[in-house]
């Protein structure tokens, strides 16, 4: 049994899909199959079943995968201790971005890391909030930015700010919206967000607390899509205050003056890696960049 086989076993269990596991491991599917076959022959146990939905752990595989994760945790602790002994921090920190890199102060973060830790580099990955949280929990990412309505349970996180969201509609809808109440807004066509989105949760709370049914004309999971649909006159949505103001100045949006909602902006990291020098360095830089937020 080799460490690379254990790592393949865990990652295939997490992904449940040969293609995604191969991409994550930077290996071919045939190599992954060979690793799993070798483990199954050594253990004399079937670890996976190939199903129409992907690779599914057998009951035996499910029992062993937690032990395999423990092995990888021990290896990470050894690597972390070795980095501490070496003194000079080096490596790649994988960080998820869920919205504009400029808004998240990624340029300032990169600059600060280069100054403080020349041997450490960032690999920035753009993805939705809910994917970032799950990828941090499974340690595919070392850290990441995401929205949440309360401190996350599945990962450790620090609150950076309470992000203000405004209700925004097409510029041509000003007359419909200028004196509108929440009840009036509920009757307009909304460009809604997916259930996993923190905006969705906050909006549902806002309308349900007033016993209002919302006209959800469409659902989109991308900020760019929301912006484009509003500009095209398809409906209203919520948008960060900075984006809303910029669009209003350009004559593309109308920002409803009747109120706003807020969601927490967090930076999260894996719970079990809090003492890892790489994570500590990343956190220190994020906090420094956001200290005046």
Q: State what percent of residues in the chain have pLDDT above 90.
A: 65
> Which fold would CATH assign to domain 88-293?
D-Maltodextrin-Binding Protein; domain 2 (3.40.190)
Supply the pLDDT for residue 124: 95
Residue in the block written with tokens 């280069």: 114
In the predicted model, is pLDDT for residue 67 greater than 80?
Answer: yes
Sign of CA dihedral 110, 115, 117, 119: positive
Mean pLDDT on 133-159: 90
pLDDT band at 75 (very low <50, low <70, confident <90, very high): confident
Tens digit of each residue's pLDDT (9 = 90 or more) over 78-94: 776 676 666 567 788 99
8 A C-beta contact, residue 267 and residue 160: yes
In the predicted model, is pLDDT for residue 98 greater than 90?
Answer: yes
Mean pLDDT on 106-116: 95
Tens digit of each residue's pLDDT (9 = 90 or more) over 5-63: 988 999 899 889 898 888 888 888 889 899 999 999 999 989 999 888 889 999 999 99
Least confident window among 71-75, 92-96, 209-213, 236-240 = 71-75
pLDDT band at 119 (very low <50, low <70, confident <90, very high): confident
Tens digit of each residue's pLDDT (9 = 90 or more) over 159-177: 999 999 999 999 999 999 9
**Distance, CA of 61 to CA of 45 (rounded, Å):** 8
Domain spans in the chain, listed from the N-terminal domain onward: 3-85, 88-293
- Burial letters 42-61, b for 16+ CB under 10 A, else e: eeeeebbeeeeebbebeeeb
Supply the pLDDT for residue 72: 84
**Distance, CA of 183 to CA of 216 (rounded, Å):** 14
**Distance, CA of 161 to CA of 262 (rounded, Å):** 10
**Which of 43-47, 83-87, 179-183, 220-224 holds the top average pLDDT?**
179-183
**Is the fold of 3-85 the same as that of 88-293?**
no
- DSSP β-bridge partners for residue 191: 218
Mean pLDDT on 208-226: 94
CATH class of 3-85: mainly alpha
pLDDT band at 4 (very low <50, low <70, confident <90, very high): confident
Supply the pLDDT for residue 85: 61
Coil vs helix vs strand at 113: helix
Q: For residue 98, which of 151, 136, 139 has the smallest C-alpha distance?
A: 136
Least confident window among 82-91, 148-157, 178-187 = 82-91
**Distance, CA of 244 to CA of 232 (rounded, Å):** 15
Supply the pLDDT for residue 81: 67
Supply the pLDDT for residue 271: 85
**Distance, CA of 95 to CA of 123 (rounded, Å):** 6
């Amino acid at each position: 049994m080799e460490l690379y086989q254990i790592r393949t076993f865990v990652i295939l269990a997490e992904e449940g899909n040969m293609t995604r596991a191969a991409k994550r491991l930077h290996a071919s599917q045939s190599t992954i199959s060979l690793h799993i076959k070798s483990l199954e022959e050594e253990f004399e146990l079937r670890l996976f079943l190939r199903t129409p939905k992907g690779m599914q752990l057998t009951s035996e595989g499910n029992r062993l995968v937690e032990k395999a994760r423990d092995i990888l945790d021990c290896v990470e602790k050894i690597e972390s201790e070795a980095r501490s002994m070496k003194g000079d921090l080096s490596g790649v920190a994988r960080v998820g971005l869920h919205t504009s890199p400029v808004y998240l102060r990624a340029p300032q973060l990169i600059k600060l890391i280069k100054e403080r830790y020349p041997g450490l580099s960032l690999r920035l990955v753009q993805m939705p909030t809910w994917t970032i949280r799950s990828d941090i929990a499974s340690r595919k990412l070392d850290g990441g930015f995401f929205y949440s309505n309360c401190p996350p349970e599945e990962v450790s996180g620090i609150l950076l700010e309470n992000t203000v969201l405004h209700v925004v509609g097409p510029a041509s809808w000003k007359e419909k919206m200028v004196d509108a109440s929440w009840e009036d807004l509920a009757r307009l066509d909304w460009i809604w967000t997916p259930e996993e989105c923190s905006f969705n949760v906050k909006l549902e709370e806002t309308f349900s607390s007033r016993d209002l049914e919302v006209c959800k004309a469409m659902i989109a999971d991308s900020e760019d899509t929301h912006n484009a649909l509003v500009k095209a006159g398809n409906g209203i949505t919520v948008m960060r205050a900075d984006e809303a103001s910029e669009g209003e100045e350009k004559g593309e949006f109308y920002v409803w003056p009747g109120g706003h909602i807020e969601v927490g902006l967090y930076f999260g990291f894996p719970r079990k890696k809090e003492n890892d020098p790489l994570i500590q360095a990343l956190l220190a830089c994020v906090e420094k960049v956001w200290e005046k937020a």
